[in-house]
Structure 1
């Protein structure tokens, strides 16, 4: 990304976050970024496209990392771990972008909104696919519904944007480790737990006789 384009992008992030998408005019972005209207329109066709680029930056990153994990790791647990870890890191790398996304995503217009929805759907489908593969391989608990499990993972990680602080007690790497640990322990098939559950069920039915 060129220096001027990046400057315009960063300036607009600050302005949108402070005043909202509709509270900021192109003239304000131009003035605050120290460029001209010609400079702005050289890089962005419109303010709508600028908002799309803000959304697309972090969604593309998350999708590329998830795709890489699926292509480069063989086992479903390792794939899920890497998808979760890279997903969590998005909230550190693209924190200003995500703040604007959650505040202003409803203002995306066609065809930009369609492009973003396609990428979000593709990312969601990767998580569903990994969960399904884990069930089929016997690594994940067979009783888990794929879509509900996938949506639970998405919801859990997505909420990070509400509380994560770069200067917080835990680094983003540590937080990513914690999320991966919690999620994997929730979905992994544990033979010890299965034996315990089977024993308890047998005891229950024995008492019923």
Structure 2
């Protein structure tokens, strides 16, 4: 299938880019290692530069779509933020290799591709900021907190997961995501909001209490 060939090329390039760097890998190497052909490569990608863009775009588009779905499918800002954080954290398991290449090789993105990625990242930040602002206005989140500082703190904290997360680590990605949710919501929610039964399952101590 066409999609399988495209995925095969991407997976091979991820391995090669991680090992040798973007400029250390040629299209010929990608074709040879992936067992495809130049015709197959150029059917899916105009160039190696476009391939690098697609790798970057995969996980950014994923978290952006997940955030948009969280916003339209939920009423409470707390629920929206919980879903956004969960999907944000799990992306480091789903697209770990993509993200490693992103941070390692992002400086080599061509300007036209870099602009697209920057815009999607800005859109993602705006969605998170909007949810926090909405939570403050509706009285779910603490009003004395800065939307920008809290928003960037969440993004920065979760982003750093790529540095230390390991698939075979002590905690699964789902457990790590639950810890992030617990930590962030405990810091962000008002005392009254924390008592809302709708949000109780988001706090780890409540889960432990209900299981004993």
CA offset at residue 35 of structure 1? 1.5
Matched, 1:84 2:48: no
CA offset at residue 98 of structure 1? 0.4
Matched, 1:101 2:102: yes
Secondary structure in structure 2 of the residue aligned to 1:151: helix
Secondary structure in structure 2 of the residue aligned to 1:111: helix
Instruction: From the superposition, tell whether residues 190 and 45 of structure 1 become closer, same or farther in structure 2 (CA, over 3 Å).
Output: same
Match of 1:205 in 2: none
Runs (4+) of structure 1 exceeding 2 A deviation are none
CA offset at residue 191 of structure 1? 4.8
* Bigger-Rg structure (1/2): 1
CA offset at residue 110 of structure 1? 2.4
Q: Distance in 2 between matches of 1:7 and 1:35?
A: 8
Match of 1:137 in 2: 138
Q: Provide structure 1 residue ranges, at least 5 long, that are not aligned to the other structure.
A: 194-209
Instruction: From the superposition, tell whether residues 191 and 36 of structure 1 become closer, same or farther in structure 2 (CA, over 3 Å).
Output: closer
Q: Provide structure 2 residue ranges, at least 5 long, that are not aligned to the other structure.
A: 195-212
Match of 1:31 in 2: 32
Q: Distance in 2 between matches of 1:192 and 1:152?
A: 21
TM-score (norm 1): 0.90
CA RMSD of aligned residues (A): 1.4
Instruction: From the superposition, tell whether residues 29 and 192 of structure 1 become closer, same or farther in structure 2 (CA, over 3 Å).
Output: closer
- After superposition, give the CA deviation of every residue in 1:63-111 in whole Å (9 maximum; x if it has no partner): 0000000000100111111100010000000000000001011111121
Match of 2:206 in 1: none
Match of 2:111 in 1: 110
Secondary structure in structure 1 of the residue aligned to 2:111: coil
Secondary structure in structure 2 of the residue aligned to 1:143: coil
Aligned length: 193
Instruction: From the superposition, tell whether residues 75 and 48 of structure 1 become closer, same or farther in structure 2 (CA, over 3 Å).
Output: same
Contact persistence 2:140–2:193 (CA under 8 A) = no
